[in-house]
Structure formats: C-alpha cells, structure tokens
Structure 1
Amino acid sequence: MKRLFTSLLLVFTLCFSFSTAQAKTVKYGYIQFVEKQMGPFYSLSINGKNIDTPVLPVKDEGCLVVPLRPVIEGLGGTISWNSKDAAATAVLGGKEIIFKMNADLCIVNNQEKPTGRKITTIDGATVVPLKILFDVFDIDVQVDSGKGIMSIQNMGYKKDVKGITGMKYLNMDSGFELRVSMDQDYKSEVFKVAAAENLPERIAVRIYGLNKDEGQVTFPVNGVAVQTFRYTRFDNDIIGMALDLNGSQNFEVNRSATDLQIKVGDVTQPPKEGSDTTPGNNAESGNTENTGNEGVVRKNLSYRKDGEKIASLFLEGIVLQPGTFDIWKAVDGTKLVLNVKKAAGVPKDDFFNLKDGVVNTISSRYNRLTEDTKITIETPGSCEYEIVPVTTGNIGTNIVVKAPVPVTGSWVNTGKKNILDHGNITYHSNGDRTAIILNKVKLTEGSKTMTRLYTPLSLNNGKTLQFTFQSKYGSLPSGTVPVYDGTVEDIVLNTNRLTGKSTVTINMTEPMAYNVVYRYDVDSSTITLLKPAKWNDRLVVIDAGHGGKEVGAVYNGVYEKNLNLDIALTVQSILEARGVNTYMIREDDSYVGLYERANIANALNASLFVSIHNNALENNKNINGSMVFYHGSSSQGKALSKTILNRLVKDLKMPDRGIREQSEYIVLQGTAMPSALVEVAFMSGEIDFTLLTTAHFRAKAAEAIADGIMDYMGR
C-alpha cells in the first residue's frame, strides 16, 4: 500500500510540474506594482531539465514573456544587476543584452533594439519577451500551448558547416521560424517542393559556396507547421536544407547580407512580441493557392495557331513595354529568347511540345535569383517574330511567330545544325555542343590521363583561341573557314613548312573555355568550345548513349542510339521547362568518345551527369525492366540513381531491376559530379521492345527520368 501511494504521488508530482499552471493574481510592475490576474502559465524546461521557479513563462497582453534569470543561468549564462540604472545585464555565448526597467528599448552589443513593451517584473522577478532572447542568443525554442510547456535549449547546431556561424529555430503554435547566420554573403534560394511518395510537402533551401562532411543532420520539431528540419551536403559547395511541413503552409523569406530567415505558418500577420523583423520587399510568400513558389502571382500562357504559317503565344495580364523585357534571336532564326523582368509580371512555368509546323517547343521558366522569366520559342526553320501589346479588353502581350522564311548564304543555317567541312576539318555545332573536329590529327596522348601534344594560346580578351602543334601529328589545309553562326566567326588554318608547325585559330563572338581530346578509335581530335557553369547554375548534363558509329544494341532493325537520343532530348525539354539548366552531349547522330563525354561534363562544372541507355540480353526475351548504375565511390551518385529508378518503377510500372554499382563504366568513373547511367528498358525483352517502339512510352520514360532528377535536386 505504501509503494502504491508513493507511485501515485510521483505521478501526481510529474504531471503537476509539466502541466500549465492556472491563472492567478500576481504583483505586476517594477517598484510601483499593481495586482493583476495573469495566466495560464507555462512549465519551463531548459536543456531538457525541468526548472522549478516561482515565476513561470506567461503571455502578457499577447506577448510571451519569460523570467530572465532562470533562463539565462539555466543556459549557462550570467545575470548582473545595476541598481543605480535599474538595469539587468544578460550575457550568453559572448553576446550581451542590457534590459532597463520600465524601458521599451534594450541594448544589444551596444546597439539599441526595441522590445515592443516595457520591461517589468512579476512577483519581483524580471520578465522579458522570449522573442528578444531568441533574436539575440543562440538558442532553440519550442512552445506547446496545448500542453503548457516551453522548452529552451542552447543551439543544437554543431557548426559543422564552415561558413554557417549559427542555425537556430523557434517553434510555436502560430508557426515555425528558422534563422541561419553566415560569415559572408552567400547566394541562396528557397522554394516549395510538392509532396511525393513517402515525403510530405516541404520547403527546400540551397546555399551555394558552402560544404560539409557526408551525412544528414535532423532536428525533430513536431510542430503545428513543421515536422522536421534537416540539412546535408547537397552537392560539392552546396548545402541543402529541408523543412518537412504539416500539410500545406504559407512561408516567408527575409534575407540580409549574412542572415537568412524563413517563417512558416501564420506569417502574414505583423510580428508580435517585440520583434524588429518585418517582412521586407524581398520576402517570398509561400501561399501556393494563388502564387508560385517564389511568392509572386503567376500569369497564364496560351498558345494558338492562327493558320498554316502563323501562330501566337499570349501572356495574359502582362503588357510588355520598353525596358520591361530583353529579346534575343538566334542567328539562324530558329530560337527566340524573351527575358521578362519581374516588374512586367511573372508568367507561369510551362512547357508546350507542339511540333505543329510553325513552333516546335515553348518553355517558360522563372529564375529565383534574377527574378526574371525566360521564355524560349524554338521553331523548325528560320522564323520572324513580333511583340504585340494588347492594352484593351483581355490585356496582355501576343508574341506572334511567323512561318519559316527563306534564308540565303553558304554559311547560314537552315535549322539548328551548322555542320561545315573544309578538307579534313569539320565544324560541328548542333544545339548545346560546338566542336571543331580535326580528322587524322593527334592533339593528345592517353585516355584517362591525357598529355597535351599542342600549345594553347588565348588572345583578344579570350575571344580568340589558338592551338599550335607539330605537323608530324597531322596535316591541315590552309585557309579560312567562315562560320558566323553567333558562336564562332571563323576558323583560320595555317601550316608553316619552315618551323614544321600547324596552327588552328578560332575567332569567337565571346570568350569560351575548351576541351581537347584525341579519339583513338576514329583517329580524330576534337576541340569542344564550352561556357562553364557558375557555381549556382546547377547544370545537369544529359548524355544520350552511343551515337555515330557506336550504334549500341540492335533489335529488329531498331538502333539503341536512336532510342537513347529521343528519350534524352525529351528529358532536356522537360527539365528546361521546369527551370533546370541543361547541356546535351549530343543532339544528333554524332560520335562522341566516352572519356570525351566525361571531360566535357567536368569542364562545364556540371552538378549532375545522367547517361541514358537501353539494355539487351542475348536470346532472353523474358527479361524486362529498368535498372540504373552508379560508381561505387559516389554516395550521391547512388542517391541520384535511386530517385530515377523509383520514378521509372512507380510511374511506368517497370519491373525493378535495382540500382547497381559499376565502377568500370568510363562515364561514371571519369565524371567529378554525381552521375547515373540509366538503362530504361530491355530491347531484347519482348514486352519492353514493344513499349520502346512507341513514342508515348519513350515520352513517359523521359518524364520519369526528369522527375527522378527533380526529386534528387529537391525541386
């Protein structure tokens, strides 16, 4: 009986100590106090330890206040009292706040900061706004009004990311707030990601120029707005964060040079509790019911074909005026790029796969960093364009596309391609890749590790590249190859018989980087001209497997290289329409060496590399399904492979052949970024072959691969 009574007493004590104290009458005010009814009060836990203090946290006219001394001393700080100035000084983690009684300002590291209310006492104990302590000190705060519990602890972030000096959060019934402090101005982007299988809707954060060791750090929040907060190394020099949401939540972002603040939940109301932080002009709302992820109202786009030779794209509600947009037209007339500034309005991200004889594709994507929208219109031949504002009725802007017009001149493209031959020299520019091919010329030696057999020289502020080599490594015709396609102006070839040296001089419209490789199997060298991606471009390189003389598997007259290219081109179109920067290794039936593919991706500073193939097994028509390969040393490559395979299996109902480690494949071995080699289906499989020969399946496969890439990127 005694043991039972003791147990009941213990249960009662625990329940009482962690439950809300009811309202009571207190002595309120400093020196001259009044009796005031307050409550309910919160129990207080600091660093996991229940704090027994006469004065507990309580809401005072909507402002949540806490007893200063128990909180600061419980966190390992100090409190001192200056009776002359009637001021309390709190010091914690090298930071200082001075609270003067009956004042509505405090002094933070010698700077005045509004408190939003006068500092006072309750039953003789100094109480201060909780929000001020969170603003200044490195603490994490959890407030659960339902249970009447307030938990405060020293910041849980272990400073394992060089460059991030602080990472703390405040979790309350009204919402969640994350603060990230950095040692300098790093580029960042914040956007919402839709819910997916086994993943809730979440807010994704990318901070560029930072790094950490492998491994994810997770903080269980279990709040009304946010379930968990986690961060990890997303990629080389990129830190990724995710706030897993409870349902769909509004969010707001505020940035300064060294601080990033994200509020989730009820963030549309003016801040309370003495906060000096208000939503600025750069705040991004996350209300996805009527806005995009960037917090701006997104306008509809509509396409209409008005006849056999004319069509128009209408930007609803966006009237383009001089100064609100920039326009660029490809030299061959097959591409129009319209850059719409945010001041004019923001079109929705969209993609039209038309191929109706006037327009091939239209893509629209918003850039969160520049706050501009890029609309790209691609046509099968050279077209004329007209921008027509509509200022009455259903206002907006029509972008009129007029049917292909004749083009003349021996060096003008009639399509995207520009392939020119001059003796044993070929200029090959198609889509993303521009290369000069020197047949029967050897400019490098080796494969994985290459030795230069040429001397490079950059002239004219980088707009001219010159490559000189001993003529014994190959001969060149003399003369000038005129190009003038918007990338290269001309190529000058020269051989000096006295010195025994040959020179290739490439004059370009802008400075370019380059990659040079000799391809033993076809006895040719290629000079690929490149514009390396910036660290925040997050470039995805898409590699259509095989090509040219490398046909891949062949079944019933169907070449694997053609299937790979068709799927890869659609992956590129989908990703670009969703705002992802891409680069295609090949966009036609051309040969590209394996080391060459890897070297190009590395020279581009790409963030991801995805090679697209189809499988085959001799004399086994019963094996069907998808598999993805990754390099054994790349945990991120493994993660990328998994997200792509998950999409192929889930969205296409493909048999799951698993992700497989393969460290011998050159495109996986030679790439410096996370890489995956996708085997979409088995050409040798009776079921898969039937699927692969349908355009519908190939398009759905491309969509699944693109979705897998987006899943990995957290977009």
Structure 2
Amino acid sequence: MFKKIAIALLAVLFLHTTVYAAPPAMPIEIYINQKKIESDVAPIIYNGRTLVPIRVISEHLGAAVHWDDRERTVRVASGEKLIILKINDTRAFVNQKPVTLDVPAMIVKNRTMVPLRFLGEYLGAKVSWDDVKRRVDVTKFSAQILDFSYSMVNEAPAVVIKGNVPLEYSVVQPDAGNLVVVDINAELKTQKNILNVYDGYVDKVIAGTLGTDSPASRFVIEAKDGVSFDILRMEQNSLAIVFSNALTSIEVEGGENLIARLKTVAPAKYRYFTIGTPEKGDYRLVVDIFGTRLSASAPQIPENNYVKAVRMSQFAVNPDTVRVVFDLKGDAHFQVFQNGGAISVNFSPIQALDDIRVNSESDKTVVKLELTGDVGYEARENRASRQLELIIPGVAPGEGLPGGGRINVGDGIVENIEILKTSEEDHIQTVVTFNLTLFTGYKIVSPPVSSTIEIEIYRSPLKNRIIVLDPGHGGSDPGAVHSGVSEKNLNLDIALRLKKLLEENGAKVLMTRESDIYVNLYTRAGIANEVGADLFVSIHNNASSNAATSGTMTLYYPTPEKKAFAQTVHKAVVETLGLPNLGLVERPNLVVIRETRMPSALVEVAFMTNKHDLALLQTEGFRQKVAEGVFKGIYNYLSGQ
C-alpha cells in the first residue's frame, strides 16, 4: 500500500517539476591565419589539452604527413624538421631528439589526433585558446630575415642570420671555389645587404632577394681560399654559418737549410714533439695544428740532408686537429716557429746567438741580433708588462754575448735587454726580452728566416699605427640639431683636429669622411676592416630631453678588448675636459663598434641640449681640448698605460 502511494507521489512531482539539463558544449573551432579550418572529425579536449586531426592541421601548416600502420606511428616532415609520434605514447621525437608530451597521440573515429599546441609550435606557429568562443587560433608566421652579423660562435668566426621563425635553408654549389652560397626560404627584411669583414676568413657578406614565387633570400660570402664551414641552428630562430681554419698548403724550400711552411688560413695554435729514435731509423717530428681542417696536398721534397718524407692527416675532428709528420734522416736539428698564418719548420745545422748590437737614435732604437746562421723566430707582446719578446727556438746564446745575459740601454725607449736560454718540452730556445720605458710601436725589418734579426723600436707608440677616425653623421644626416648647430659639423671639426695630432706623432690616419657627406654605417666599419686598422674611434655629441643633462660618456661593444680601449679613452677625455663623468655604456647593437674587427669606441663628447655644454662645443679651444683628450687616450692605450 505504502509503496503504491510513494510511486504515485513521485509521478505527480515529476509532472509538475521543470527539468534543467546542461546545454551541449559548443564544438571546438580551429582558425589558421584567421581562416576557419573544416574537418570531418572535430577537435576534442582530453585532460585539458586540445587534440586535432594531424593531417588536416599539418597540411595547412605546409607539412607532409606519413602514417606507418605496422609501427602505429605518424611522421610529420617540414623542411629540415621531422616529427615522429606513436599512438598512445607520451614520448615524441623531433629531429631524433625525445620530447615528452602532456597527452599522447590517439585514434578517434579512424583519425590520428595529436596535441595541437605541440604540433603547431614545432611547425613554427603560435597557438592560442579562446575559452569563451571555444576556439583555437593558429598563426603561421611568414618567414623573415631580421638581421645578420659577423661574430664568434663556439670560439670560431661566423655569419649569424636571425629570423622571426626557424629558418629553412639549402647550400648552393657556387662557380667560384672561394664563395659560400646559402639560400634561405625567407623574406629579407634587414636594414643592410652587405658586411665588409676582411679578416683571416671572410672578405664580404652580401645578401639579396631571389626572384622566386615564394619569398627567398640568398647569402653570398666571399671566403678566403681553403676556408671550410658548417651551418648550425642556434636559439632564437638563428642560423650560424661557422668557418673553420684550414691547412691550405705545405711549401718546402731546399738549400743549405730545408724550410717547410705549413700555411693556414689564420694563425693557429700548435704543438710539436718527436717520436722514435735516430738509431732505429724511425725518428719523426710531429706537428699538431689545432682547430684546423686539412685541405693541403702532399708537397714535393727536394734533395736534402734532413727529411725523407712529409705526411699529413686529419688526426681528429670535433675538435679538429691536423697532424703533419716529418720522417727524419738521422738526428736532424730543427726549429718550429710561427709567422702570421704559417707555421715554419727550419731544418739546419745547430746555430747560436752570437752578438747583440744596439743603436739609439732620436726617434727609435735599432737592435740587431747576429746569429751564426739562418734561423726563424717569433715576436710576442706583453703590453701590461711593457715587454717585447723575441723567441728563437732551437738556438742557444753564444758565450761571447755582452753583459752576461743583460744589456743596459736606458735611452728612454729601451730600459734593458735580457737574454735567457730556456727549455720547453725538451726543446731549447733563446728568449730575448726588451724591457721598455713605454710599450711603443715596433717593426721587424729582417725576413722570417735570417742570420740577422733587426728590429726598430719607436719612441712614439703611434709610429706606423693605422687609426680610423669616424666623424658621426654627415650629409643628409645632421645628427642632433640644437640652436641652429648641427652635430655633424662639430664631429667633423673634432676629428680633423685629432687627425692632425695623430699624424704629427707618426700614426697613419684614415677618415670615414673628410667633408659633409653621408656615409653608410656598415661602410664606415668596412673601411676600418679592409685596411686592417689598429684602432677605430667614432666621434659624436649627445642630446637629451632633459636640458640639465651634461657630461661625457663612451659607448663600447661588449668584448674585453673593446671595453679596455673604451675605458682608457674615456678616462683621458673626462680628465681633459672636466665635464661630468657619465661612464661607459655597453651598446651591443651599434653598427660601427659592433662590426669593426679591432678595438673601437664611440665617444659622446657633450650634450648639445645643455646650454653650458653647447656653448663650450661652439668654441675652437674646447674642440681642440676634445681632440687632445682622445689623443691622450689612444696614446695611453697603445703604450700600455
């Protein structure tokens, strides 16, 4: 009875109660570059992640898809990128590197579904989710090249190309052997199209647009003969074309001595040692050249008393080492030394340093080292200690040298000369150390192998130094303009005054402009690189929205050498002018100090927007003081002060 009543009451309640059911969820929509993408299988949400049909999405992002039914894996290929996913496995592979997924790929209604964010971002797209609209937006960026520069990558010189997305490239085989040609599937959006480098590896880098249906760019690099390269992918969507040193040739010259010159693209670190014994007939000299690849062929060996044969090989890779082996005829005497881009091996009778003669002149000290025969040698500088060293391997000091190993000079250029016999890895050598009053300029007059080593040490550290001065702005670019005064004119006047001071003290000075003309920033840096300048100084004046701002600052590119030069120049200018010291400012993106391959600095002399500073800048006396301050900084840097 009670059961029937309860059922009846429930029926009445059901008939008189409104039932509210949750509305069905809106379907998930996918838009790629603002265009809705239709698919026969709708996206799904699984564990908070959006899964989408892989073929539909990949092909809209320009990728190819391959399904392996036996392995139950799907491969997605786009350019150089290969993505491999396995059904129900949270581990994927991108270019063979494992990547852990939040959710695995899975089969839904006979379609392979994959995590959208993972797939989109690895294919170079940005993925965002709109929770209100239940909509996924995928933005596939068109590839662009934003900048390119020449810098060091893994301690090797490289052209670094920066894009807005990962860049796809191909290497083109050029007609000329010294060209490196790389095509990139991206639009060239840089402010420049040429870099003038002129170092031991590269002369120029030229970028241009290819006339193809899709945006593409070509980089042509004028490399030195024998230079090899690798292309590396870096962070932040960059490619690096990294250049390697190479042993390009071995030249052997006969006579009383046998001289082998191992020529490399750029100076290389090396070591040498012997193995075997003369008695057993297996005596060999081994020279290992580090950071170098082999591109030389075996040399012809003339008749001689020292060497039977010369062999070479790529002894190691990553890091690269070339090994050169000299098979010796008995107990041969030899010297190994470096001169520029050549490591020389001089086989000769045993020689000795016989005499040292010093001649002090008004502007220089001339030193002649007399030896018993032709020898090779190396020069090394130590600015901090104000020393110049000549290292003569395989040679001992003669007994008749004056001064018992020390020659006092005291002429205001050279304090004294020390002669020391040393032993390094069982090889003797003589080290001649010139202790200088100041570290000044010098010139070695004698050839690399000679029986007389003649060196001129100058009183002025500026003698024969090449210095490039860069008066900022010019022509159509006036720089800062205040109260009718243009910065470009002040900069040029100061630079011309500085040029006169430097030339009067023996320097060779080049100007990026000597009149009111416009010069491209990259051209300015290229001038200094092409002539192999020792120093580069850019002269500027400043401006500020705050008229009270006054003082001097110096800008530098962040390398130890460039910072040290900027510090020395800045200190001298501040001491000379007496304006507020605004310090050094690191500026990694300034072209003229970034692209120059030598120590460089950009001096911001004073503020044209400050009434006091501008009044000073308009006087010849102050502009002369600016030139004298920069001159003092250059002088101090070159003299090791």
TM-score (norm. length: structure 2)? 0.32
Determine which structure has the larger strand proportion and give its number. Answer: 2
